């Protein structure tokens, strides 16, 4: 992988031993496998385990391991932070950012004398169609149908509040489902958004389960327990302590294997 910041500082650690450290961390502290995949030769897995333990005791390897471990745990903490932000967004984002049901003025709310009201575009189309029919009727020497009834006039705007005195909707207006343009969703709404589905009832907006996200957050914050503890660590010192404990156990296992095979002598 290309590193735009230049070659990695190996802390004086030989290149192959540095590769062993990188593999050791990538393979969840499996020293045996890391030793062999780094290109070292060993007659058996037991020998590889002993040699891996020996490498981990070398000062330069330990220094490089400490630096790489901190980098790894910093990445883990950053990933956990991103996970928490995403979970929080799913759990608490207002679904109205994706889809909402809105009520606005009906066609009769603001029409003249509460008659049916058109938009300007609708009226232009109706007038054009009426004039074409009128010309056809007059061409056949039939009676002139006269001008088109404007009814409630033009200027309908469904965004207006329903008129409380409207005799048609009685102040309740007309309802409509509004689906937001997914190109302009907020980051929180994007976390909640799970796609679209074309069903018999029309387009449906899919969302991630807010209930499940809240349950997960509750477990993380230990608000309640259900079938066991969910234990996510967000403290760098605790991560370091756990790593050191695991390293201590690995060294103990390596020492026991070395004692068994070599009687305490260095390999």
Per residue of the chain (267 residues), give pLDDT as tens: 344 444 567 878 888 998 998 888 888 788 899 999 999 988 899 999 999 999 989 999 988 888 888 887 777 777 778 888 888 899 999 999 999 999 999 999 999 999 999 999 999 999 999 999 988 988 888 888 888 899 999 999 999 999 999 999 999 999 999 999 988 888 889 999 999 998 888 889 999 999 998 888 887 766 444 444 444 444 445 555 655 666 666 566 655 655 655 554 444
Residue 131 lies inside a defined structural domain of this protein: yes
Tell me the H-state helices in 106-209. Answer: 120-139, 187-192
Query: Is this model's pTM higher than 0.75 or not?
Result: no
Residues 82 and 113 in one domain: no
Query: Largest alpha-carbon pair distance within the chain?
Result: 121
For residues 87 and 115, state if they share a domain: no
Instruction: Name the domain boundary from 179, 214, 243.
Output: 179
Same domain, 68 and 124: no
Query: Which tokens in the block code for residue 133?
Result: 């029919």
- Confidence (pLDDT) at 74: 77
Q: What is the pLDDT of residue 93?
A: 92
Domain region containing 52 = 15-92+233-262
As given in the structure block, the two tokens for residue 87 are 């979970």
Statement to judge: residues 107 and 162 lie in one domain: yes
In a domain, 122, yes or no: yes
Distance of alpha carbon 236 from alpha carbon 73, whole angstroms: 7
Return all residues near 126 (Cβ < 8 A) that are at least 6 apart.
118, 148
pLDDT at 265: 45
Integer Cα distance of 255 and 43 in angstroms: 18
**Same domain, yes or no: 75 and 121:** no
Could you tell me if residue 125 is inside a domain?
Answer: yes
Burial class (CB in 10 A: 0-12, 13-18, 19+), 221: exposed
Instruction: State how many domains the chain has.
Output: 2
For residue 244, tell me if it sits in a domain.
Answer: yes
57 is a domain residue:
yes
Residue 37: inside a domain: yes
* Within a domain: 190: no
Does a structural domain hold residue 10? no
Say whether both 88 and 41 belong to one domain.
yes
Domain boundary among 144, 160, 179: 179
Residue 122: its pLDDT value, please? 93
Q: Residue 190 corresponds to which tokens in the numbers above?
A: 């994007």
Nearest CA among 158, 155, 154, 132 for reference residue 145: 132
**pLDDT value for 114:** 95
pLDDT of res. 171: 95
Distance from C-alpha of 78 to C-alpha of 85, rounded to nearest angstrom: 11
82: left (phi over 0), alpha (psi -120 to 50) or beta: alpha
Say what the pLDDT of residue 161 is.
95
């Amino acid at each position: 992988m290309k590193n735009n910041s230049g070659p990695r500082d190996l802390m004086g650690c030989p290149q192959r031993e540095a590769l062993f450290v990188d593999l050791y961390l990538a393979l969840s502290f499996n020293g045996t496998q890391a030793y062999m995949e780094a290109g070292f030769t060993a007659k058996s897995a037991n020998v590889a385990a002993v040699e891996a333990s020996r490498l981990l005791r070398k000062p330069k390897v330990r220094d490089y391991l400490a630096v790489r471990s901190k980098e790894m745990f910093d990445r883990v903490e950053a990933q956990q932070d991103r996970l928490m932000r995403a979970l929080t967004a799913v759990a608490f984002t207002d679904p109205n950012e994706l889809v909402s049901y809105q009520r606005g003025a009906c066609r009769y709310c603001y029409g003249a004398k509460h008659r049916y009201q058109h938009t300007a575009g609708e009226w232009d189309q109706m007038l054009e169609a009426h004039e074409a029919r009128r010309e056809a009727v007059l061409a056949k020497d039939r009676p002139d149908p006269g001008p088109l009834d404007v009814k409630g006039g033009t200027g309908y705007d469904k965004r207006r509040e329903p008129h409380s005195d409207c005799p048609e909707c009685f102040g309740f207006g007309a309802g409509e489902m509004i689906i937001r343009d997914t190109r302009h969703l907020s980051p929180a709404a994007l976390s909640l958004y799970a796609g679209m589905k074309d069903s018999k009832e029309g387009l449906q907006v899919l969302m991630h389960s807010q209930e499940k996200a809240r349950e997960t957050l509750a477990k993380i914050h230990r608000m309640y327990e259900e079938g066991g503890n969910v234990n996510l660590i967000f403290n760098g010192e605790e991560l370091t302590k756990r790593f050191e404990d695991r390293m201590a156990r690995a060294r103990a296992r390596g020492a026991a294997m070395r004692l068994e095979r070599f009687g305490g002598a260095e390999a």
